[in-house]
Amino acid sequence: MKNIQIKELQLWAMVAALILFLSTVVISCSSTSQISAAKGGAQLWGENCLRCHNAPSPETFSDTEWDVAVMHMRIRANLTDEEADKVVDWLKTAN
């Protein structure tokens, strides 16, 4: 019984920590920073799109295909909103 209470406590503590964390995410953090704001799409592509697999070159896809692929990556690969936007714009002009 004691065991269960401790576990429930742990759980509530975690839920509280989670809510706290999420509120800080939503309130205080932004998708950009001073450093990243100064970077262009090509640079962000060069820094990010090779982290998990080889970086695809712009000619790989058409504009519409890039829209879907980069949105997919934004979610799957945890890209920032800014990275996704700048990279997709660059890929679409360079393909």
Partner 1 sequence: MKNSIQLILAIAFLGAFVFNDVFAQDSGQIAELKQIKQDVESLKPGKSRFLLRGYAHAGLEYHDEDDELTFVGGAFNPLFVYQQSDRLLFEAEVEMKFEENEFEIGLEFANISYILNETLIIRAGKIFVPFGIFTERLHPAWINKFPNFPLGYGHDGILPGTDLGVELRGAAHAGNLKYNYSIYAINGPQLDEGAEHEDDIGKLIYGNIRDNNKNKAIGGRIGIFPFSNSSLELGFSAQFAKVGSDNSEFNDIGANLYAFDLSYIKAIPAIKSVIDIKAQTNFINVDDADYPDPEDPTGVETFTFNNKSEAYFIQGSIRPSFVGNRFFQNMELAMRYSDIQTPEGAHWHTEEDQLDIGLNYWLDWRTVLKFTFRKSGQGVDESEEEHKESGNAFFVHWAIGF
> Which residues in this chain contact ligand HEC in the complex, by CB under 6 A?
48-49, 51-53, 56, 69-70, 72-73, 76-77, 79, 87
Site string for partner 1, 12-41 (x = CB under 8 A): --xx--x--xx--xx-xxxxxxxxx-----
Residue 87 binding target from ligand HEC, partner 1, none, CB below 5 to 8 Å by type: ligand HEC
| CA angle at 37 for the pair 35 and 41, rounded to the nearest 5° | 110
Closest CA to 92 of 72, 55, 67, 56: 67
The amino acid at residue 63 is: D
Cβ 20 to partner 1, closest distance in Å?
A: 12
